[in-house]
A and B are shown apart, each in its own frame.
Chain A
């Protein structure tokens, strides 16, 4: 158990809909990362937040957005969903997120299925 929690575990929805994925970091961690894992793309970095502020952006679509709240939990919002958005979404957290020496710990993921 990494200490990172994600809800829900599974989500099934239809094209065009909007969903919200939630992540709670390990106690004491200030940084949250979101990754997407699809069959054809592997694990791809989406976005990082540090202490409530956006710190880095990866291959995140404009239809996707995220935020980190004062209690440090984070939400990833996916809108106008398409079939290709079906994937595993992982959240990771780290103490500071300031560079390569900061170990990231991953949650169990949310499996999103868009029908």
Chain B
């Protein structure tokens, strides 16, 4: 099971890009990188996932380094509603479950 390291907190100005880093140096070749976020005590919300290539969807972009040891989640134009805890998950448990760390608390400020 890949373990991930994220900064505990980050600030971002509203309208600017938020770049959230994640280190997953122990990830294995077939393990995906998943990003979820949790706003207050709501259910975790799926954002994006990827294996090797960079990915983009309507919510965010995911940049994965060539050696796959780290990735960056990019919210291109952060809004106040993007204030949340962001979880980077490297692969899953041996049984396919998600292993959540402590995540990064992103605060978007006006």
How many residues does chain A have at the interface if contact means C-beta atoms less than 8 Å apart? 30
| A residues less than 8 Å from B32 (CB atoms) | 100-101
Q: Chain B contact residues (Cβ within 8 angstroms of A): what range?
A: 20 to 34
The reply to whether B42 and A108 form a contact with Cβ atoms under 8 Å apart is: yes
The reply to whether B96 and A56 form a contact with Cβ atoms under 8 Å apart is: yes
A2–B36 Cα distance when bound, in Å, is: 13
| A residues less than 8 Å from B98 (CB atoms) | 33, 35, 43, 45, 92, 104
The reply to whether B44 and A99 form a contact with Cβ atoms under 8 Å apart is: no
Interface of B, secondary structure class, is loop
**Proximity string of chain A (21-38) to chain B, C-beta cutoff 8 Å, 1 when within and 0 when not:** 000000000000101000
Name which of B5-13, B18-26, B66-74, B87-95 contacts chain A: B87-95
A66–B94 Cα distance when bound, in Å, is: 20
Beyond A45-B98, A104-B98, A105-B46, whether A88 also contacts B93 by CB under 8 A is no
Beyond A100-B32, A100-B91, whether A33 also contacts B97 by CB under 8 A is yes
12 A-B contact pairs sorted by A residue (CB < 8 Å): A2-B43, A33-B98, A43-B98, A48-B95, A58-B95, A92-B44, A92-B98, A103-B34, A104-B46, A106-B45, A107-B43, A108-B42
| Chain A positions near chain B (C-beta within 8 angstroms) | 2, 4, 33, 35, 42-45, 48, 55-58, 88, 90, 92, 97-109, 111
| A residues less than 8 Å from B44 (CB atoms) | 43, 90, 92, 106
